[in-house]
Structures are given as structure tokens and as C-alpha cells.
Chains A and B, each alone.
Chain A
Amino acid sequence: MMAWKLAFRNLAGAGLRTWLNALVLSLCYFMIIWHKGLLDGWDRFARTEKIEWEIGGGQCWHSRYDPFDPFTLTDGHGPVPAELASRIEEGRAAAVLIAQGTFYPNGRMQSVLLKGIDPDQSVIKIPSGALKAENGTIPAVVGGRMAETTGLSEGDAVTVRWRNRHGAYDATEVTIARVFKTYALSVDAGQIWIPLDSLRRMMEMPDEATLVVLSRGSGLPGSLPEWTVKNPAFLLSDIDQLIRSKSIGGSVLYVALMGLAMLAIFDTQVLSIFRRQREIGMQMALGMTRGQVIRLFTLEGALHSILAAAIAAVYGIPFLAVLAARGFGVPQSSDSSYGIIVAEKIFPRYSAGLVLGTVLVIFITTAIVSYIPARKIAGMKPTEAIRGKIQ
């Protein structure tokens, strides 16, 4: 209590110097929270997109299917198990059949993944309703990235060639019924979505599927023979890993920022030893113990961070609130390392954890940086301190 009172008095008494330090520190708060909020907002957005467009509430894969090995597509399919079939019936799951093919957009040849999906599904955001279109050819939907790289647009017809389960080649025309916009590249690049029934017929794989997407909140099934259940955590593990590695990269910035701010505090505190040694000697003569001196100076330094938090709140909260509400514009495609095209607008996210965590980390760091010189101060002999003897 007494230490708090004295620390406040010292801070108030130091006037301008206190405010300058606190201002530097407050910038530190602001930059960290602003930058981290942006990253968090983007991470959350990327995750949500992947869940809504691809993962749903989890997936069941045919046990021989491996998304990283296209050759498994030949064998990685089978009849949909009864439990999943009834879920599909109830609209709580959607079957996806995947096959490899080749197509010829604008005279070029390009390999492509053909994905069959039920036009009536509403489990993931793929606009499968557009696949109900009838005009003699098979309707198809593709993502914006795919449309861009192949030069296809709505209404275009394109030849698709594939090998069915007996190894026989066949070809047909598909018509692009819809180009959809998603930030989840994994349902976009290099693939064409067509009606599930069409693909099953083309492949001669009636009632079969490669994977089944479960709707969100519908719960995972127990173990199924020939099929494996993949929970959302597994399906999100690569994006989560990416988020983690990104946040480590971001931390370097924070460390640099903090380093600067801490230098200012440290400098002030170290200067204090020399400038204030008489004062401290006098405090000892008046009966302060070493522990009390250390506590007082540590607290005095650490209080800068509280003051800084208050200052940062004054200019930071309105600014960040506007940003969070309006979104923060970023140049298109500046970063596709998430496997996702960057949104043109990011809505930053400032969680209580982020704000409190930053305040806590800065408070503790300031305290440590203040403690070190405080300990040196307290180690002085009072007789020497009073005479201002040290250096």
C-alpha cells in the first residue's frame, strides 16, 4: 500500500519523463494489439472459410483415399455405409465422389479433379443448386481461381475426358453453370464440381463415394468398416499449424517492439540510479529497507506500463473499434500461403485474451526491467549513496 502510494508520487513528480515513457510504451501496446488483431481476424476468417466450404462438421473417408496421392482415387471409393446413407437422406451429410480427369479449356489440355456432389445438399457452401440446370450437357460449377486460370466463365462449355472404373476412356461436354467465389482454395483450384449422379454414371460407380462431409453439429459416427472418420481438428490441422507458425513470425515483431520500449524504461531506471542516489540514500537513512527500495523502484517502473495501457486505451480503442467494424483493406492476392486467396477486407479481432495478455506481458517485462537497476540501487551503502559517491 505504502509502496503504491510512493510509486505514484514518484511518477507524478517525474512529470514529463513519465509521460514520454508511457507514450512510447503505449505505442507498443497499440502496435502489438493492432497487428495481432489483424492476424487473428485473418486466421479466424481462413478457418471459417475452410469449415464452411470444405470440412463441415467432419468427414468420413474411404479407407484407401489419400488426398495427397491422386493415384489412390482409383481405389479410394466404395458404397456409402448405411449409417452415412441415412444421414445423407436426412440432409445431415453430403457424399462426394472424386475422380481424375482431363479437360480442354480453350484448346489447352489440363488435368482436373472431377468432384460429384448432390445438387440438393446444403452441408457445405458449394453452390450445388446450380447443378440442377438442364440444357443437354452436364452442368458444372467452378471456383473463381479455377475460372481465372482456365479462362472459363459462366455459360462456357468445355470437354472433359476421364477413365471409368474399367479403364475405358470416355469424354463429354460440361457447361459452366456458376462460378463461385470462395477463399478456400482447396475446393477451387484445379477442380470441377458436377452432379453426383452424373459422375457416378460416368465412372460406373453407382451409390459410391470417396468421402462424406458431415454437417456441422451433427456429431461424428462411430467406427465404420472400410471407412475412416476424420474429425474437424484433424482436417484443420494443416491450417492450424500454419497459423501457429505465422504467430511465431509475428512474435519477432513484438519482441523487437518490446525491446525498444524496454530500453526506454531501462534507460530511465538506470539513469535514476545515478541521478537519484542521494534521494535513495536519504530514503534509506529515513529507514527504508533494501526490500522496500527494490519494491518501490520496481513498482514505479512497472506502473509505467499501466499508465501506458490507459493512454493506449484513449487513442487505441476508438481506432481499433472502427477498424474492427469496417474491416481493414488489403491488396488482393498479397498472400495465398494459407491455401486461400486473401480476402480484400480483413475484420480484425481483438479478444479479451489478446488485450489482457499483452498488458500482462508488458507489465511483467517492465517490472523485470525495473527490478534489475532497483536491485543495484538497493545494494548501495547508504553512507555512499547520501554523498552521491557511485560513479
Chain B
Amino acid sequence: MNASNGPIARLSGLVKRFPMGRGHFTALRGIDLQIMPGEFTGVVGPSGSGKTTLLNIIGSLDTPSEGSAVVLGRSIGELSHKQAADLRNHHIGFIFQTFNLLPVYSVYENVEFPLLLLRKPAEERRKAVLEMLEWVGLSDKIRSRPSQLSGGECQRVAIARAMVKKPGIVLADEPTANLDADNSHHILKTMVRMNENFGTTFCFATHDEKVIRYLRRKILLEDGRVTKDETVKKPRLRRAGT
């Protein structure tokens, strides 16, 4: 489908308006942006600047009001409901601030869920789930329920769930907002390793300095506009540990 050398996401003239009272509120005011395969990037900016809105559109959870968003070769605004679901199902992983694990499922079942939707055979599911749980260091908790896990562990399950189908892009919206520093660093390091190992594209939305230090590209969003877009040659904390 998408050319692997083309951009994962290409946004041009992207405008998003929300109806509000009798008029509307413009959350994104003309975004031009490309995200290339394998990037470890993030949209940063103050609260209310439109980060979540932008990620939702890239993730085909929402549609542009104007302009275009082409993700993995598909024009988001033109997808039917089913096509959008299909795109998310196959190619997009989500990580949210609130983890959003399925509460009645075990850790294993949560991670398995996307593969069930993809109708993968049982053996393939099992292998992939166990592999991912090993990646996030939860091999010993596969039977636990989300309610029995700490916040950091929950977010690690969410990462495993997002990664288990080896998506084209993982969208992580404030993934550390509910975590302490240790856990934040832990999950970021895990995602960095995944990015290097699998070549998966990561795109964050964050205003957390701890996260920002890991990014290789920082897209500054202010009041619905991209005001700065810088690529860091050598992220400092990459190898520094902690």
C-alpha cells in the first residue's frame, strides 16, 4: 500500500474546527507536516495547543475540516467509517495518557485483542503476545488484571498492545502524564529500543520535559500552528541511562 520510502503521514493545509455555540473553535490553523518512516518524533506545546487533535486526525479517529491528511497512502478525510477502522486495525497503534486497557481482560488478553481483530491464527497470536510482553518486561504478569497492576505496568501493557501487530506508526498521547519519573523513563527507553529494533515510527503528543528529551524531532505546536520543527542530531539521554 504505502511506499516505504514515502512519508508515513503527510499533512497539508490541515485545519480543524470544532462546533462551539453558534460558531466554531479552530483548533488547528493550517498545518503542513511530513512524518517519515522510522522517525521518533513528537508534537510538543502547551496544553490546549491542538496536539491531541492533530494526533487524532493522523490516527483516523477524527477528520480534517480543511486541507488534507494522507496517512499510509490513505486520505483520512475521504475514508469511510469502515475503512478508517481498517486502517487503525492494521497500521496504527495508540497509547493514551489513561492507558485505556480493557478492564475485564487479563494482560495477555489485552495484548491479544488487536490480533483477534485481525483474525490472526492462534499460534501466531500467542507467539506475538508473549514476545511483546517480554519486550515490556511483563512476562510474569500475563494472567493479571489491569486492576492488579501499577500505573507503569498498565502503560507497558498498552505499549505491548500498540506494538503487537507491528503497526506502521504508534501514536502516543501524553503517555507519561500519569506516571512517575522512573516509570516514564522506563517506558520511553522501551519505545526507543522498539523504534530502533523494529523501525516503527513513533509520534508523541506531550509537554513533558522527560519525554521531550528522548525525541529526535520536536514539532512545536502553539495555538494550532507549527511554530518550530527541529531535528536533534544526538538526543542526549539516549545512552546516558536513568
Interface of A is mostly: helix
A279–B81 contact, CB under 8 A?
no
From B1-9, B31-39, B96-104, B128-136, give the one contacting chain A.
B96-104
Residues 36 to 90 of chain B near chain A (Cβ within 8 Å): 56, 59, 61-62, 81-82, 85-90
Contact A289:B81 (CB < 8 A) given known A5-B116, A383-B56: yes
Q: Please measure, in the bound complex, the distance between the C-alpha atom of A95 and the C-alpha atom of B35, giving whole angstroms.
A: 101
B90 contact set on A, CB distance < 8 A: 287
Q: Please measure, in the bound complex, the distance between the C-alpha atom of A50 and the C-alpha atom of B102, giving whole angstroms.
A: 63
Q: Please measure, in the bound complex, the distance between the C-alpha atom of A283 and the C-alpha atom of B88, giving whole angstroms.
A: 10
Does any Cβ of B come within 8 Å of A216's Cβ?
no
Does any Cβ of B come within 8 Å of A322's Cβ?
no
Does any Cβ of A come within 8 Å of B117's Cβ?
yes
A247 contact set on B, CB distance < 8 A: none
| Proximity string of chain A (1-24) to chain B, C-beta cutoff 8 Å, 1 when within and 0 when not | 010011001101110000000000
Closest to B114 in A: A286
Does any Cβ of B come within 8 Å of A386's Cβ?
yes
Partner of B100 from A278, A290, A292 at Cβ < 8 Å: A278
A287–B88 contact, CB under 8 A?
yes
Closest to A282 in B: B100
B56 contact set on A, CB distance < 8 A: 383
B116–A13 contact, CB under 8 A?
no
Does any Cβ of B come within 8 Å of A206's Cβ?
no
Does any Cβ of A come within 8 Å of B94's Cβ?
yes
Partner of A286 from B62, B82, B94 at Cβ < 8 Å: B94
B89–A9 contact, CB under 8 A?
no
Partner of B116 from A6, A14, A284 at Cβ < 8 Å: A6
B103–A288 contact, CB under 8 A?
no
Give min CB distance, A145 to chain B, whole Å.
Answer: 63
Q: Please measure, in the bound complex, the distance between the C-alpha atom of A13 and the C-alpha atom of B88, giving whole angstroms.
A: 26
Residues 138 to 190 of chain B near chain A (Cβ within 8 Å): 161
Q: Which 6 A-B pairs have the closest CB atoms?
A: A13-B104, A287-B89, A282-B100, A289-B85, A287-B88, A285-B94
